Amino acid sequence: EVRWWWRGVRKGGKTGKLPVSDEALAAVARYRRSLGITPALPTPNDEHGMVMRVDSTKAIGSDRIAKIVKRAFRRALEYAGIQGVQLTDSEKERFKNASTHWMRHTGITHQLERDIPLHKVQRLAQHADPRTTSNYVSTDDQSLHEAVNQHRTFWPESTDG
C-alpha cells in the first residue's frame, strides 16, 4: 500500500513531513482532474503546483491560500445572512476572524476529541513539547465524570447497603 507524505517548510524554517489522508489524496486527484491535469496524482518531478492559480499552472503560496480562506469564510457569513440564518454575535465574530491558523487549531482539537492519542496528535501538529498540544484539550465536567467512571478499581462491590 502506497502512503503519501506532504513535505514542506514550517514555522522557523524547519522542514517537515505530514501524512496525507486517503480523503485528502482523493480531493487532490479530483482537483487536478477538474483542471485537466494528468496524471491525477502528482509525480516526483511534477511541474504543477499543489494548489494553482486559476489562470495558470503556477503554484500559489501559503499567504495567498490564507487570504482565500479568509475570503471564503466572509462570503459564507454573507451567504448565511442572505439565507436568513440567525447567528449570534459570537458566531459572526468567529467567521470574521477565521483563518488557516484557526482551522489548524480546530483540527488539532477535533483529533483529540476523537481520542487520537496525545503523542500522535503532538507529532501531527509538530509540537516539540507535549504541553503545547495539551493546551488544545478541553474537558468539561460531564467528560470528567465519564472518565473517572471508566477507571475500574479492584474493590469488590459491597453487599451491604
Sign of CA dihedral 32, 38, 41, 45: negative
- Is residue 35 pLDDT above 60, yes or no? yes
Mean pLDDT over residues 20-45, rounded?
Answer: 90
The 10s digit of each residue's pLDDT in 75-118 is: 999 999 999 999 999 999 999 999 999 999 999 999 998 989 99
Q: Which residue has the cell 488539532?
A: 108
> How big is the chain, counted in residues?
161
Indicate whether 132 pLDDT > 90. Answer: yes
Residue-wise pLDDT tens digits, 135-157: 888 777 777 777 777 776 666 66
What is the rounded CA–CA span in Å between residue 67 and residue 6?
21
Q: At what angle do helices 62-82 and 100-113 cross, to 10 degrees?
A: 80
pLDDT given at position 14? 85
Which has more confidence, 11 or 115? 115
How would residue 127 be classed by pLDDT, with cut points 50, 70 and 90?
Answer: very high
Residue 122: Cβ within 10 Å count:
20
